């Protein structure tokens, strides 16, 4: 198995960047397209535990589009073979001084492209 193959890394980094742009832009079709549409897809958030794409979709569609801008730092992407990538990042928001967010995503290559199958977001005191 090749870890961090440059071509695979570039693909996962591009998918991660597309997700980030969709997140801060509240681009619902892209956000939903980047998560694997399956009842086994999981997203643990700051105040919610979402099991399945239906729950993730309902959460995203029901949240406010305000205050989504954020700054990322210490982003680490690691790939394992040609089909698995892990993206980890820290983030801050001007609306939450003294707090730091942590985000992890597990990306899998499907025939239709890279999709998140598991994600975790939490915020702690900086």
**Domain spans of the chain, in order of start:** 6-125
CATH for 6-125 (3.40.50.300, 3.20.20.70, 3.10.450.50, 3.40.47.10): 3.10.450.50
Task: Judge residue 34's burial from the number of C-beta atoms within 10 Å of its C-beta, 0-12 exposed, 13-18 middle, 19 or more buried.
Answer: buried
| pLDDT value, residue 14 | 98
Q: What is the pLDDT along the chain (126 residues), one digit of tens a residue?
A: 999 999 999 999 999 999 999 999 999 999 999 999 999 999 999 899 999 999 999 999 999 888 899 999 999 999 999 999 999 999 999 989 999 999 999 999 999 999 999 999 999 999
Nearest-angstrom CA–CA distance, 66 and 68: 6
| pLDDT value, residue 67 | 87
Q: Are 122 and 102 in contact (CB under 8 A)?
A: yes
């Amino acid at each position: 198995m090749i870890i961090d193959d440059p071509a695979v890394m570039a693909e996962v980094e591009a998918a991660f960047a597309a997700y980030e742009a969709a997140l801060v832009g509240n681009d619902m079709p892209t956000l939903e397209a980047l998560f694997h549409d399956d009842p086994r897809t999981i997203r643990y958030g700051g105040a919610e535990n979402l099991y399945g794409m239906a729950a993730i979709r309902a959460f995203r569609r029901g949240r406010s589009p305000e205050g989504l801008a954020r700054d990322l730092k210490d982003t680490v992407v690691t790939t394992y073979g040609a089909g698995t990538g892990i993206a980890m990042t820290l983030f801050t928001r001007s609306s939450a001084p003294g707090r730091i967010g942590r985000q992890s995503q597990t990306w899998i290559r499907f025939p239709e492209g890279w999709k998140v199958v598991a994600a975790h977001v939490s915020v702690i005191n900086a």
